[in-house]
Chain A
Amino acid sequence: MSTVPRVGPRPRWLDPIGVLGVVALGLTVWLGLWITPPDRTQGDLARLLYIHPPIATVALYWVGIVAAGGSLLYLWPRTRSLFWDRLAASAVEVGAVFSALTLVTGSLWGRPAWGTWWTWDARLTSTALLLILEIGYLALRRVPADAAVRAKRCAVAALLIAVDIPLVHFSVDWWNTLHQGGTFIDPGFQIHASASMSWTFLVGLVAFSLIFVWLLGERYRIEVLQDAVGDQLLEVSLAERWSEDAALVGAGAPTAAGGPGHGEGSP
């Protein structure tokens, strides 16, 4: 019996994406810290805006699209496949990391800008709620179950979260708002920043998007491996059980009480 789970080869595009993402991130750091000028009003503090909005974009939009899309496609009978389930689950897990990073980078910016690490501002509060919702999904995901049952349950949970997010957003938005509006782009899509600043922001967005795709791919791969290992462990314990039974039969019929192997070997 082989000890290596039977899964396909590692996809070839995964490593180049990761390398590109890390290079783009390095470029963002270089542009953000050395090339761009300090902001007229916020000074060096504005440099955090090269990474905070891109991280938030990934956490809110990319994750939302992949998680909701994957869950919907899993629930749709014609496209039902564990691929979509694993993709959605991976997106939520990577999304939880990006949501947490959004909160951390926002908090780092808020301390000097607003004078406090945390404020009950609309976007902060709704991002925190998003993180809690994602943790709830991941808790549900960890409950052991048959793959198809778990997939269906999680897909429904993801859709329930997806419909809740706009409601959370609007209610918290009305409840209290202090966060500044769009920084670079106003509702008329006029860009208010120097060319080097806009380019750095764009490179940051590309960097974090690539890193998201890379982490998503890696997490998906781990999901496949986990399922394969789970299946294999089941096979191994079944095989052990059969060989025990065979040995018992070979040694003569076991007695009702205290026979060899009594009370052990159940998976």
Chain B
Amino acid sequence: MWHDAALVAAKDLRIEARSRVALWQVVPFAVLVLVLLAFAIGPDQAALRHAAPGIFWVALLFSTVLAIQRSVAVESGEGTRDGLRLSGIDPAGIFLGKAAAVGLQLLVLELVLWAGVTVLFDVRVHVAWLALVSCLLATVGLACAGVLYGALSAGLRVRDTLLPILVLPVLAPVLLAGSKVWDAALSGNTASGTQWLKILVPFALVYFVVGLVLYGPLQEAA
């Protein structure tokens, strides 16, 4: 399973490295969301600094939807999904591989967004490990849930409009917990931050396990 996952992840990342869609479309989109939300809030530094954690996570969530759509689109070519299914690769391996590829792209996105809020909103993270752990946990959860919902909408003509309405409400706990952890990391309130990690851990764990179990049936249904 792990070997299969590595194969699938390498394939997706290789496609990404050659097409550069993530680099030229998803990353600029994430920065664009930062800028647009800053426009919506106004030039007041204090208000922007206060809203920075929420803006970071909203930008990440929207970009996650794009990353998932891209991950599905890679398999939407003529017979590509059937090819992957018939290759004998364990569905759990496919799930893990695709999640790993999406997760790696999300990590890069988070770095860019982190730099973005630091520069644009003049915020400084006081408890860096808290922010880092929240990003890592959220990445696992977002990638696993995202790939599952991507598979759910794969092969549908309406998938691009359907995916956001399906996946964004599901990701709401990540937005809530992530924003709170970042709030705590910015203000140095470690106790409140660690409490909110207790939402991110089960979220990541649940979608990781559910994905391993349900990706097979989902693949048959697509």
Are A and B bound to each other?
A: yes
Contacting residues, chain A, for B28 (C-beta < 8 A): none
CB pair B214 A156 closer than 8 Å: yes
Tell me whether B119 is interfacial, beta carbon within 8 Å: no
In A159-209, which residues have CB < 8 Å from any B CB? 159-161, 163-164, 167-168, 170-172, 174-175
Contact of B173 among A139, A140, A160, A168 (CB under 8 A): A168
Alpha-carbon gap, A132 to B180, bound state (A): 23
Tell me whether B65 is interfacial, beta carbon within 8 Å: no
Alpha-carbon gap, A127 to B143, bound state (A): 25
Binds A, one of B29-37, B45-53, B194-202: B194-202
For the A-B complex, the count of residue pairs with Cβ-Cβ distances under 8 Å equals 77
How far is the CB of A265 from the nearest CB of chain B, in Å?
A: 23
In B160-179, which residues have CB < 8 Å from any A CB? 162, 165-166, 169-170, 172-173, 176-177
CB pair A171 B206 closer than 8 Å: no
CB pair B217 A75 closer than 8 Å: yes
Contact of B176 among A153, A157, A175 (CB under 8 A): A175
Tell me whether B149 is interfacial, beta carbon within 8 Å: yes
Q: Which 7 A-B pairs have the closest CB atoms?
A: A152-B221, A171-B173, A153-B221, A132-B169, A167-B173, A171-B176, A136-B166
Name B's A-contacting residues (CB within 8 A): 145, 148-149, 152-153, 156, 158, 162, 165-166, 169-170, 172-173, 176-177, 180, 195-196, 199, 202-203, 206-207, 210, 214, 217-218, 220-222
Q: A159-B214, A161-B170 are in contact. List 9 more A-B contacts (CB 8 A).
A: A133-B169, A133-B170, A136-B165, A157-B166, A159-B210, A160-B210, A163-B207, A163-B210, A164-B173
